[in-house]
Amino acid sequence: MFVFDDLIDRDLQKDAAAVAERLVYFHNKTPVKGLLPIEQEANAQPWQGESDLPEIDAADLCIETLGSAMAHKGCLIVRNFLDTRSIEPLKIAIDRVMDEDIAAADHASSGEVRPTVFHNPPRNLSVFLPEPDLTWARGFHRDTGSVMTVESAGITEALAEWFSSLGFRDLLEAYLGEPACLSALKWVLRRTKFPIAENGWHQDGAFMGKQINSLNMWMPLDHCGGTSGAPGMDIIPFRFHDIVAAGTDDAVFNWSAGPESIERFQGDQAPVSPVFHPGDIFLFDHLLLHRTQFGHDFSRPRYAIETWFFGERNFPKNQIPMKW
C-alpha cells in the first residue's frame, strides 16, 4: 500500500542521490535492438473477450492474457489491480508535487527554492536533459497539467519501491523479454488542466522511436472516462504495426494528429472512451493511437500516473532512461 505519512520521514539527500544514480546508470549506454514483443505476436492466442477494448480482472492477468490483448488490440485494461487505499494518498502527493513545481517555477529567478520531499529534483537532471530541453519539458508539463515524477526524488523513490511491491515486475519483464527500466521524461504525474486539446491524438512511438521495447502502465486515480464527468482516454483499440498518425495537417505537433485525419487511420475500429475506476490500470505500448478524452462537458479533473517502462537494453535514449 502507498502511505502518504511515510513520505514525511524520507531522507532528502539520500533520495536525490539515489535518483541521480538511476540516471547515471545509462550515461554511457546505447540502445541495443533485440527481438521485440510485437515481432513475436503471430502465435499469440486470439483475444477471447467480446468488448472492442480488451479488459480482464487482475486475478486473470498473466503473460498469455497480456500477450493476446497486445497482439490483437494493442492494449489491455486490468480491473481491480491496485489496493484502493493507496488512491487518496497518491492524489494528495500529486497535488503537493504539482503545486510545489509551479511555486518553484514562480520563484526560480529569486533563487529562493528550497528542496522539500515534494520538490527535490536530482542535481544531475540537466546533465541528462540539457538546457534548453529541460526548461521546455518543464513548461510543457505545467501547461498541460502534468509534472515529471523525477521533480520529486522522494516521490520517485517511494513509487519505485511501491511498484516493486505490486508483483507486476516479473510479468512486465516476461513480456518485454528483458529487464525493465524507468524514464525521467515519461514517468508523469497528471491532474487535468482544462480545456482539453481536440487534436491530441498520438502514438508515443512518434517521438520515442518505433523500434523500442515499451509498456506503459497508465494508472487513473479517479472514476473517469465515458460519461462519468472526468476525462478518461479516447482509444483506437487496434494493433498498429507502424507510426501511422504523426504531423498531420490538423496536428499541433509533428508527433500528434488531429480529429479529421484520425478517421483515415482508424479503419473499421471506431475510437472508444472506456470508463475507468480507481484501482484499474491500462497497459499499452508506443504504437497505440490515443488521446486524453476530448469533450466540453467535464465537471471534474482526473488524476493519473503515467509510467512508461522500457527495455533496459532497448530503450529510447531521448526519454532519459533511469535504472529501476
Ligand X SMILES: O=C(O)CCC(=O)C(=O)O
Q: Which residues bind ligand X (CB under 6 A)?
A: 190, 204, 216, 218, 233, 290, 292, 304, 306
Work out how close the CB of 180 gets to ligand X at its nearest, in angstroms, rounded to a whole number: 16
- Pick the closer one to ligand X by CB: 56 or 233: 233
Q: What does the alpha-carbon distance between residue 159 and residue 70 come to, in Å, rounded to a whole number?
A: 25
**Residue showing the smallest CB distance to ligand X in the complex:** 292
Work out how close the CB of 324 gets to ligand X at its nearest, in angstroms, rounded to a whole number: 18
Counts for the chain of helices (H) and strands (E), in that order: 10, 13
- Pick the closer one to ligand X by CB: 72 or 290: 290
Sign of CA dihedral 13, 19, 21, 24: negative
Please, what's the b/e burial string for 143-154 (b: 16 or more CB within 10 A of its CB; e: otherwise)? ebbbbbbbbbbb
Residue 143, all three cell numbers: 501547461
- Pick the closer one to ligand X by CB: 47 or 294: 294
Work out how close the CB of 319 gets to ligand X at its nearest, in angstroms, rounded to a whole number: 12
Sign of CA dihedral 227, 230, 231, 236: negative
Q: What does the alpha-carbon distance between residue 48 and residue 65 come to, in Å, rounded to a whole number?
A: 9
Please, what's the b/e burial string for 88-120 (b: 16 or more CB within 10 A of its CB; e: otherwise)? ebbbebbebbbebbeebeeeeeeeeeebebbbb
- Pick the closer one to ligand X by CB: 12 or 272: 272
- Pick the closer one to ligand X by CB: 16 or 188: 188
Work out how close the CB of 216 gets to ligand X at its nearest, in angstroms, rounded to a whole number: 5
Work out how close the CB of 9 gets to ligand X at its nearest, in angstroms, rounded to a whole number: 30
H helix or E strand, kind and range, residue 287: none
- Pick the closer one to ligand X by CB: 26 or 284: 284
Residue 154, all three cell numbers: 522522494
Work out how close the CB of 193 gets to ligand X at its nearest, in angstroms, rounded to a whole number: 10
- Pick the closer one to ligand X by CB: 20 or 289: 289
Work out how close the CB of 204 gets to ligand X at its nearest, in angstroms, rounded to a whole number: 5
Residue with grid cell 486515480, as numbered in its chain? 221
Please, what's the b/e burial string for 292-305 (b: 16 or more CB within 10 A of its CB; e: otherwise)? bbbbeebeeebbbb
Q: What does the alpha-carbon distance between residue 287 and residue 211 come to, in Å, rounded to a whole number?
A: 10
Work out how close the CB of 218 gets to ligand X at its nearest, in angstroms, rounded to a whole number: 5
Work out how close the CB of 249 gets to ligand X at its nearest, in angstroms, rounded to a whole number: 21
- Pick the closer one to ligand X by CB: 120 or 319: 319
- Pick the closer one to ligand X by CB: 117 or 155: 155
Residue 1, all three cell numbers: 500500500
Q: How many residues in the chain?
A: 324
Rg of the chain taking only CA atoms, in angstroms: 19
